[in-house]
């Protein structure tokens, strides 16, 4: 009889340990996936000062645009994850104005440094998109694990909370989907 009780206790302990470790692994995967986004946001933010310098050298100083880009860059480097994502979205919207400046100043559009920097920005965006997809997959896996049985019991016992997805603002998505060359100012 005592062996049965000991066996039941061991099985319950193994269930607790296994589920807890599984949730910890999934939570760590979410954190690691976010770090991929973080690296790319910082990389993009580090390219922006060079872009601003090239624009300053080649134009009659587009002060308002450069000030907004600088503010968005600061937001990408600081703040909570949500604030950083919003600043990145703002920076993306400002990039359409950078293209318009290049059209207004042909010498800027023809500048090799400007073109290389814009390629770097584009490359950063591609990598942010990849990292965002990877992050959202990790969040889906984690959130599913804490919402299904028996994970929901262990998640509740150990205080695991649902993670937010990295989503593009709905208005920005509509604006981007409907963006036409004639709308760039």
Q: For helices 112-147 and 151-158, give the axis angle rounded to 10 degrees.
A: 100
Alpha-carbon gap, residue 7 to 11, rounded angstroms: 6
Write the pLDDT tens digit of every residue in 159-172. Answer: 999 999 988 766 65
Residue 20, judged by CB atoms within 10 A of its CB (0-12, 13-18, 19+), counts as: middle
Instruction: Check residue 180 and give its pLDDT.
Output: 47
**What is the distance between the alpha carbons of residues 88 and 117, in angstroms, rounded to a whole number?**
17
- Domains assigned to the chain: 2-183 (1.20.1440.20)
pTM of the complete model:
0.80
CA distance 175 to 172: 5
Work out the mean pLDDT of the chain and round it to a whole number. 87
Mean pLDDT of 67-86: 90
Whether the Cβ atoms of residue 138 and residue 27 lie closer than 8 Å to each other? no
Question: Dmax over Cα atoms in the chain, in whole Å?
Answer: 89
């Amino acid at each position: 009889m005592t062996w049965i009780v000991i066996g039941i206790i061991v099985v319950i302990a193994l269930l607790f340990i296994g589920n807890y470790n599984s949730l910890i692994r999934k939570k760590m995967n979410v954190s690691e996936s976010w770090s991929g986004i973080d690296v790319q946001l910082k990389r993009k933010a580090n390219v922006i000062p060079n872009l601003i310098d090239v624009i300053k050298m080649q134009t009659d100083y587009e002060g308002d645009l450069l000030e907004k880009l600088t503010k968005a860059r600061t937001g990408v480097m600081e703040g909570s994850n949500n604030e950083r994502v919003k600043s990145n979205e703002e920076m993306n919207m400002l990039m359409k104005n950078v293209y318009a400046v290049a059209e207004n100043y042909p010498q800027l559009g023809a500048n090799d440094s400007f073109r290389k920097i814009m390629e770097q920005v584009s490359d950063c965006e591609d990598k942010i998109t990849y990292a965002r997809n990877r992050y959202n997959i990790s969040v889906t896996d984690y959130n599913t694990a804490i919402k299904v049985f028996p994970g929901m019991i262990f998640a509740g016992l150990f205080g695991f909370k649902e993670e937010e997805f990295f989503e593009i603002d709905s208005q920005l998505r509509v604006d981007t989907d409907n963006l036409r060359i004639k709308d760039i100012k």
